[in-house]
Amino acid sequence: MAPSIGAKVVLLREDLDRLIAELRERGYVVIGPTLGEGAILYEEVTSSGDLPAGWSDVAEAAAYRLQEGADRRLFGYSLAAQGWKRHLYPPRQRLFLAERAGRGFRLSSGEADGAPMALLGVRACELAAIQIQDRVFTKEGFTEPGYAGRRRAAFIVAVECGRAAATCFCASAGTGPAVGPGYDLLLNEMIDGDAHRFLATAGSDNGAAILGGLSCRPPTAAELSSAAAQPAAAAAQQQRRISADAAGVLTRAAESPHWEAVSKRCLTCGNCTMVCPTCFCTTVEDITDLSGDIAERWRQWDSCFTIDYSYIHGGSVRQSGAARYRQWITHKLASWHRQFGSSGCVGCGRCIAWCPVGIDITAELHALEQAEQVSKGGDNGAD
Amino acid sequence: MAETRRPKLAVWKFSSCDGCQLSLLDCELELLAVAEAVEIAYFLEATRTVGKGPYDLSLVEGSITTPHDVQRIGEVRRQSKLLVTIGACATAGGIQALRNFKDIKGFIDRVYAHPEYIEALATSTAIADHVTVDFELRGCPINKNQLLELLSALLNRRKPNIPTYAECIECKTRGTVCVMVAKGEPCLGPVVQAGCGNLCPAQGRGCYGCFGPLGNLPNTAALTAQFAAMGMDRRDIQRRFRSFNANAQAFRKESEAYDD
Ligand code: SF4
Ligand code: SF4
Ligand code: SF4
Ligand code: SF4
């Protein structure tokens, strides 16, 4: 009988190659975790041999290191240096090309869409981030066609976390570690002695059809409970958390002296926004060749930390580092709710690990919260 | 573009190594297109033929290091409608501005057999310290793609797309893994203007700062505090800021904070 949505089967370690081959057979370019430049990177993979078997990542504020683990887990790390954003919404995209033709010009649209992608190894927080970007880019009336096309065509293989990095705080952000709906396939990787296998769950008809093609056995009760225990174990390891009242704290903190204090440490480099899987800001560039016969319009990732970002006639609105840091954290954690109906932070911790000076969004929020409590306490005392 | 007359281009050299001018010759494939689009009226590195001024665009390489330079840059300015400096020497004083931190007389006495013939200023300074500059192309050397972009922009009367953001953005858009975070390698990128095309981080090395300080007062103090936390000593930290752009204000101030 063909499996349906919700069906669970067991894939052996070697079946993962059949899964990758099956996805490729169906025309997908499979993007998954690879090792490169001392980090996990999401790049094209053609077989399970490309995956970082046995490697794990250790992340702290301003530090990320790979470390060889005790077993040969393929998904034993937490997160790649950058997320899936660079595949679904590439850093540079050509919007159109115009060529002079007689007295007029000929327009051609941006770049042709590539082959559909299968994203292998999407974590709970990352799936939540993709769903946030869906709301940003496919809002009615404001659809970004490039993103929408790539997203519609993408096949998502989520992998549930059984461990958390020190920078993770998805549990308090409410996005993980258990993977929520929206995947095509969900994998739980399990190693027990010599037995290395995956519990696979179908999340869509497409996912069910692919599982059907692999013809695997159903799971045992022990396998089911071992998989079910993974997210709880990952949640228990989380050391950082974000306050449920983040939006309130930030809305009340607009004039806080704390912004000055952060700006003493912040480089305004923009790394946090670049690695954030939900940040979506871009700028547009028009270029020409020397003759003026060819003109192109390009869109490139931008950040509210760049000085040009807030440039309007007469100068930049956000000159100080204080104003720029406040913009970033307030947009992420507060005004995002009004704009898109949720927080803009999924708790992946990338902005903490990849900030060259280790500025920690959870610690800054906490400091603002403390300052608020102290000043409240002071008010009470004065009554 | 009006077909009437090609704009006249002049390329001038002051104290420099010629590397930036060579970037223009290095344009290879695009060089013919450049020669078609502009009249190269004065460019001694490429041709001895000298076309008379005034010039529509002067590219100025090199820093001001002698009394004669001071007089000559004034003449260049008078003959140029637009004056664009190219490279770290012209824009910040170059590597030769290291002398600004020392006594130049000592150098001259040690290096030259007849110091009495040497007429040099005590400092090496940027062109903008002497005349009005319309645009600056950073880099040691400049990036030829930025030069072509600037020429295309001027010819087509549009804004040049020369980024003013930090080198870190080049890492992230290219997909380079941060060497500070993943290797504990000191990197000037967060306080340096992008533009090189991510040369060093893409090779797994920290940025040397060829493109000079990020505009709008970079937070160099926060970066050097991190360098110190990573175990660099004060002398090494100072040296990071004492290279091609040592005399750029933000870098000079930061390195002077590490004078013991
Ligand atoms: S704000 Fe930081 S922790 Fe939150 S989603 Fe963005 S990168 Fe991750
Ligand atoms: S935090 Fe900044 S870069 Fe990110 S989406 Fe908001 S405004 Fe854009
Ligand atoms: S918080 Fe960190 S990563 Fe973000 S702009 Fe400041 S220094 Fe850069
Ligand atoms: S390698 Fe250097 S330039 Fe690149 S992101 Fe890291 S600190 Fe910035």
For testing the chain A interface, which of B3, B32, B159, B172 should be mutated: the one with the most A CBs within 10 Å? B172
pLDDT level of residue A382 (50, 70, 90 thresholds): very low
A207 & A260 share domain: no
A23 & A125 share domain: yes
Per-residue confidence (pLDDT) for residue A135, from 0 to 100: 95
Calpha distance A135→A129 (Å, rounded): 10
A23 & A122 share domain: yes
Which among A101, A59, A51, A97 is positioned nearest to A76, based on CA atoms?
Answer: A51
In a domain, A119, yes or no: yes
Strand pairing report for B8-13 and B39-43: parallel
The stretch B191-199 carries a mean pLDDT of 97
Tens digits of residue pLDDT in A17-61: 999 999 999 999 999 999 999 999 999 999 999 999 999 999 999
Range of the domain at A354: 246-382
Judged by CB atoms closer than 8 Å, whether chains meet at A308 and B168 is answered as no
Q: Is the pLDDT of residue B47 over 80?
A: no
Q: Is the pLDDT of residue A205 over 80?
A: yes
Calpha distance B131→B58 (Å, rounded): 13
Q: Which amino acid is at A328?
A: W
A169 & A318 share domain: no
Question: Looking up tokens 């280790």, which residue turns up?
Answer: A358
Which among B249, B242, B96 is positioned nearest to B259, based on CA atoms?
Answer: B242
Residues on chain A touching B178 (C-beta within 8 angstroms): 81, 271, 354, 356
Tens digits of residue pLDDT in B126-143: 999 999 999 999 999 999
User: How far from A300 is each of A274, A312, B127, B197, CA to CA, in Å?
Assistant: 11, 18, 32, 15
If contacts are CB pairs under 8 Å, which of residues 98-137 in chain A contact chain B?
none
Last residue of a domain, one of A193, A220, A237: A237
Assigned token pair, B59: 């590219």
In a domain, A33, yes or no: yes
Last residue of a domain, one of A237, A254, A284: A237
In a domain, A144, yes or no: yes
Question: Looking up tokens 């310290």, which residue turns up?
Answer: B129
Per-residue confidence (pLDDT) for residue A109, from 0 to 100: 81
Least confident of A52-66, A260-274, B22-36, B63-77: B22-36
Q: Is the pLDDT of residue B1 over 70?
A: no
A158 & A220 share domain: yes
Interface check A55 vs B, CB under 8 A: no
Calpha distance A273→A285 (Å, rounded): 20
Per-residue confidence (pLDDT) for residue A138, from 0 to 100: 92
- Closest protein CA for atom 3 of ligand 3: A355
Last residue of a domain, one of A237, A268, A292: A237
A30 lines ligand 1 (CB under 6 A): no
Judged by CB atoms closer than 8 Å, whether chains meet at B182 and A64 is answered as yes
A221 & A286 share domain: no
Tens digits of residue pLDDT in B135-164: 999 999 999 999 999 999 999 999 999 999
A303 lines ligand 3 (CB under 6 A): no
Per-residue confidence (pLDDT) for residue A383, from 0 to 100: 40
Least confident of A6-10, A256-260, B36-40: B36-40
The stretch B45-53 carries a mean pLDDT of 74
A341 & A213 share domain: no
Tens digits of residue pLDDT in A345-363: 999 999 999 999 999 999 9
Per-residue confidence (pLDDT) for residue A88, from 0 to 100: 97
Tens digits of residue pLDDT in A291-307: 889 999 999 999 999 99
Task: Give me the residues paired with residue A189 across strands.
Answer: A198
Least confident of A59-73, A104-118, A218-232, B182-196: A104-118
User: Would you call B3 exposed, middle or buried from its count of C-beta atoms within 10 A (0-12, 13-18, 19+)?
Assistant: exposed
A184 & A259 share domain: no
A232 & A334 share domain: no
Task: Give distance in angstroms: CA of A139 to centre of ligand 3.
Answer: 29
CB B14 within 8 A of CB B73: yes
Q: Is the pLDDT of residue B57 over 80?
A: yes
Mean pLDDT (chain A) is 94
- Closest protein CA for atom 4 of ligand 3: A272
A227 & A261 share domain: no
A257 & A357 share domain: yes
Calpha distance B121→A259 (Å, rounded): 44
How many Cβ atoms are within 10 Å of A106's Cβ, its own excluded?
A: 10
**How many separate domains does chain A show?**
2
- Closest protein CA for atom 6 of ligand 4: B178
A215: left (phi over 0), alpha (psi -120 to 50) or beta: left
Tens digits of residue pLDDT in B71-116: 999 999 999 999 999 999 999 999 999 999 999 888 888 889 898 8
Assigned token pair, A216: 């695997």
User: Would you call A34 exposed, middle or buried from its count of C-beta atoms within 10 A (0-12, 13-18, 19+)?
Assistant: middle
In a domain, A2, yes or no: no
In a domain, A196, yes or no: yes
In a domain, A3, yes or no: no
Of the CA atoms within 13 Å of residue A300, those in its CB half-sphere come to 18
For residue A356, which phi and psi values (nearest 5 degrees)? -60, -20
Q: In what order do the strands lie in the sheet with B80-86?
A: B39-43, B8-13, B55-61, B80-86, B135-137
A52 & A201 share domain: yes
Interface check A353 vs B, CB under 8 A: yes
Q: Is the pLDDT of residue A79 over 80?
A: yes
Helix (H) or strand (E) holding A55: strand A55-60
Tens digits of residue pLDDT in A83-115: 999 999 999 999 999 999 999 999 998 677 789
Q: What b/e readout covers B211-237, taking b as 16+ CB neighbours within 10 angstroms?
A: bbbbeeebbbebbbebbeeeebeeeeb
This complex has an ipTM of: 0.95
Question: Looking up tokens 């009554």, which residue turns up?
Answer: A383
CB B41 within 8 A of CB B9: yes
Per-residue confidence (pLDDT) for residue A2, from 0 to 100: 67
Question: Closest partner residue to A274 among B169, B215, B225, by Cβ?
Answer: B169
A273 lines ligand 2 (CB under 6 A): yes
Q: Is the pLDDT of residue A1 over 60?
A: no
Residues on chain B touching A269 (C-beta within 8 angstroms): 166, 168-169, 189-191
Which among A355, A157, A357 is positioned nearest to B228, based on CA atoms?
Answer: A357
In a domain, A1, yes or no: no
| Domains of chain B, each with CATH number or no CATH | 8-155 (3.40.50.700), 167-256 (no CATH)
User: Would you call B252 exposed, middle or buried from its count of C-beta atoms within 10 A (0-12, 13-18, 19+)?
Assistant: buried
Judged by CB atoms closer than 8 Å, whether chains meet at B168 and A41 is answered as no
In a domain, A154, yes or no: yes
Calpha distance A350→A366 (Å, rounded): 18
For residue B166, which phi and psi values (nearest 5 degrees)? -75, 155
Per-residue confidence (pLDDT) for residue A170, from 0 to 100: 97
